[in-house]
Amino acid sequence: MLTEAQKLKLYEVYEVSHQADIVVTLGQGGQSLPSPVFGVLQGVKAQLDIAIAFINTDAAQSERVGEILAEFDTFWLDPSTIDREGYKFNPTRNLKRIRQALFPYTGILFNSSSSNRIPLG
């Protein structure tokens, strides 16, 4: 079974909020908008909730998802690009790879590029 901390990390990986309202700021103050305005996020949240229930039915799946999420801990809080011993540390690329690794368990394809192409393999 996934721990509560791992479930929360899944929400972080897919950039989904548990809140009913989302506040959008433009530098001064903010505007509160109901989540249905952001319907895509609600779809991701619903799919993530389904995926968590599915993952928790199989100990091997839970263990593998836990391993993938452990990698998320190693880079996410420091988003800077760093060169270490000839290796370029790139959190954006690493996050993309984590989302790809989670796809078989969540069923969520995360298209973070500006093009309208959806990866199919």
In three-state form (DSSP H/G/I as H, E/B as E, the rest C), the secondary structure along 10-75 is: HHHHCCCCCCCEEEECCCCCCEEEEHHHHHHHHHHHHHHHHHHHHHCCCHHHHHHHHHHHHHHHHH
Q: Is residue 38 within 8 Å of 22, Cβ to Cβ?
A: yes
Cα(13)–Cα(107) distance, rounded to whole angstroms?
14
pLDDT tens digits, one per residue of 56-70: 999 999 999 999 999
pLDDT tens digits, one per residue of 71-108: 888 776 656 666 666 666 677 788 889 999 999 999 99
* pTM of the complete model: 0.73
Q: Is residue 118 part of a domain?
A: no
Q: Is residue 77 part of a domain?
A: yes
Tell me which amino acid residue 109 is.
Answer: L
Domain extent, residue 23, equals: 4-106
What are the tokens at 9?
């990390």
Highest mean pLDDT among 20-24, 47-51, 112-116: 47-51
Q: Is residue 112 part of a domain?
A: no
Instruction: Work out how many domains the chain is built from and give that number.
Output: 1
